[in-house]
């Protein structure tokens, strides 16, 4: 997992995360050092801010309609994670940790989907950014990037010969 600062510096949420509802000043100034304001406080979604240069994710309205939002964290999982990272413990921790695990934990749906797609493509995991960049950007929104160690574990669990270098 990445720290919130690392996630921001890699490029997430099209730069819009702190444009409304949550003030970036509530978090350590260091997290935003050397970032253009458009990387975290843009009113317009900017695909060039994202690591994979693609639009990914759902809208605030969609998050709310699906019941993913706790009133204490109106911007969702990443806001919860920022606060958790800084030491807050909360009644919503167990739910949010389960959501993370279901999305990109070792048995997570999207983590397994991306590794299946990388395997089918036959590319080296280190050069897989062209494989489903929307899924990969979504995984980064959840503090995860594909990597050789996890891919090797995935290959082993699936019974594939580990051809990683």
Is 60 exceeded by the pLDDT of residue 1?
Answer: yes
Instruction: Give 165's pLDDT tier (boundaries 50, 70, 90).
Output: very low
Instruction: Give 88's pLDDT tier (boundaries 50, 70, 90).
Output: very high
Which residues have a Cβ under 8 Å from the Cβ of 85 and sit 6 or more positions away? 3, 4
User: pLDDT tens-digit profile of 4-56?
Assistant: 999 999 999 999 999 988 999 999 999 999 999 999 999 999 999 999 999 99
Single pTM value for the model: 0.93
CA distance 116 to 43: 35
Which pLDDT belongs to residue 57?
Answer: 87
């Amino acid at each position: 997992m990445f720290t919130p600062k690392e996630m921001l510096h890699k490029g997430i949420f099209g730069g819009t995360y702190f444009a409304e509802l949550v003030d970036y000043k509530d978090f350590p100034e260091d997290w935003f050092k050397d970032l253009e304001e458009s990387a975290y406080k843009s009113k317009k979604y900017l695909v060039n801010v994202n690591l994979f240069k693609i639009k990914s994710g759902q809208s605030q309205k969609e998050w709310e309609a699906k019941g993913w939002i706790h009133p204490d964290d109106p911007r969702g999982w990443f806001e919860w994670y920022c606060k958790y990272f800084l030491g807050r413990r909360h009644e919503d921790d167990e739910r949010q940790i389960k959501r993370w695990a279901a999305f990109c934990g070792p048995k997570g749906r999207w983590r397994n989907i991306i590794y299946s797609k990388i395997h089918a493509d036959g590319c080296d995991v280190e050069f897989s950014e062209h494989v489903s960049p929307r899924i990969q950007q979504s995984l980064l929104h959840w503090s995860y990037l594909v990597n050789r160690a996890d891919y090797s574990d995935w290959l082993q669990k699936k019974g594939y010969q580990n051809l990683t270098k």
